[in-house]
């Protein structure tokens, strides 16, 4: 099959046509400063508040409880640094780097998941201390797609009088989310994970939660985040928040892909497959193959997938998520993430299975560590 096909939607998603139209209209027509009281400013303010209601609807929340920020990373930073208030933080070893980097700045305890990738609520409870002020557990893992039991964890936090934050960047728009009903006091989301623009995100803040601003200046966003709002980006965010995708169909494609690869390629394993997962995500380990080599081989065949992250030196680091789940470094380096979304088809999936099988066979023939060929 000629062409290029995208299977890396957990990294970012293509902008949908309706989102592009909403952003174009805002750029052209609502160019005023949303803080200005004249006609042009009020038109921009109207567009901004419409977007806020749309995003709040995605979260089952009230518009006044949504703080617009620049993305998921800022939302996580605002939640952790703004709500911990000098106390002890409990989080997990499988969080996104945006959370883990904040944890390093705070007095924190990291809780490990089970080998299946699930964080046990009782382990969170055991990590609480008298000085704990905040717990942060992601809703869905960005690498494995494993869903965490955030409602149970939130109940534990509520009983202990501790605030609960969840990074919902990968979950929102893929699984039903009602931030308030989940028990979350704070919940982070990002537009570019749901076919919206980069540079737009939001933090849900439960009424009554005290939040110290991390960006100072004007009185924007009810004094929780200073800076002139990016109205076109938020217009696109709002439009994306209202879009409906057939996640059951995408889940069927993910299962087709996963089953096909496991059948076609021996000595493989799907990480986290026995836990509840996002419908679009599969993380598969290939014995004896470097993940980066597989990414390059598939890219040459026209398929975009992902493996571990690269550090500043350019050297490939094993996934901290898979290491926390108990995998050895070589096993973590041999894993690929396939994440599906808008535009993927059964024909693309079948072609990807064929490409993976061919690449695996070729790479194993020259592998110094693979010894199971028969």
* Residue 239: active-site member: no
Catalytic residue among 102, 157, 239, 311: 311
Structural domains in the chain plus CATH codes = 5-13+245-365 (3.90.1150.10), 17-242 (3.40.640.10)
Provide block-wise average pLDDT over 10 residues at a time, the chain (374 residues): 87 96 96 95 96 97 97 98 96 98 97 98 98 98 98 98 98 92 94 98 97 95 94 98 95 98 97 98 96 96 83 66 97 97 97 98 88 57
Beta carbons within 10 angstroms of residue 171's beta carbon: 25
What pLDDT score does 310 carry?
Answer: 44
Q: Which two tokens stand for residue 104?
A: 């390093």
What pLDDT score does 312 carry?
Answer: 34
What pLDDT score does 369 carry?
Answer: 81
What pLDDT score does 315 carry?
Answer: 53
What pLDDT score does 2 carry?
Answer: 62
What pLDDT score does 6 carry?
Answer: 98
């Amino acid at each position: 099959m000629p062409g290029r096909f995208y299977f890396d939607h957990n990294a970012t998603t293509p902008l949908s046509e309706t989102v592009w139209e909403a952003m174009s209209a805002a750029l052209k027509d609502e160019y005023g400063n949303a803080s200005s009281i004249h006609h042009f400013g009020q038109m921009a303010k109207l567009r901004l508040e419409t977007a806020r209601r749309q995003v709040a609807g995605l979260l089952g929340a009230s518009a006044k409880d949504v703080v617009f920020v620049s993305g998921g990373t800022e939302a996580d930073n605002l939640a952790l640094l703004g709500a911990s208030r000098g106390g002890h933080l409990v989080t997990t070893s499988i969080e996104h780097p945006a959370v883990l980097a904040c944890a390093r700045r705070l007095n924190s305890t990291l809780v490990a998941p089970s080998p299946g990738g699930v964080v046990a609520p009782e382990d969170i409870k055991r990590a609480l201390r008298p000085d704990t002020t905040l717990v942060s557990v992601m809703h869905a893992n960005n690498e494995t797609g494993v869903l965490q039991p955030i409602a149970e964890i939130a109940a534990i936090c509520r009983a202990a009088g501790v605030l609960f934050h969840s990074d919902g960047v990968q979950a929102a728009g893929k699984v039903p989310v009602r931030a308030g009903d989940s028990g979350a006091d704070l919940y982070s989301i990002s537009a570019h994970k749901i076919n919206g623009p980069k540079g737009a995100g939001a933090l849900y803040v439960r009424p009554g939660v005290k939040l110290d601003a991390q960006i100072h200046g004007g009185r924007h966003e009810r004094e929780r985040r200073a800076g002139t709002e990016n109205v076109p980006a938020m217009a696109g965010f709002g439009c994306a928040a209202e879009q409906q995708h057939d996640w059951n169909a995408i889940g069927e494609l993910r299962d087709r892909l996963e089953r096909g690869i496991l059948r076609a390629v021996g000595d493989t394993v799907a990480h986290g497959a026995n836990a509840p997962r996002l419908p679009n995500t599969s993380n598969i380990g290939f014995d004896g193959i470097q993940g980066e080599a597989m990414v390059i081989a598939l890219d040459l065949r026209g398929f975009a997938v992902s493996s571990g992250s690269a550090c500043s030196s350019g050297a490939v680091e094993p996934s901290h998520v898979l290491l926390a789940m108990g995998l050895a470094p070589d096993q973590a380096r041999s894993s690929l993430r396939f994440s599906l979304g808008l535009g993927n088809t059964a024909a693309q999936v079948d072609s990807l299975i064929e490409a993976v099988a061919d690449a695996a066979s070729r790479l194993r023939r020259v592998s110094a560590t693979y010894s199971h060929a028969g």
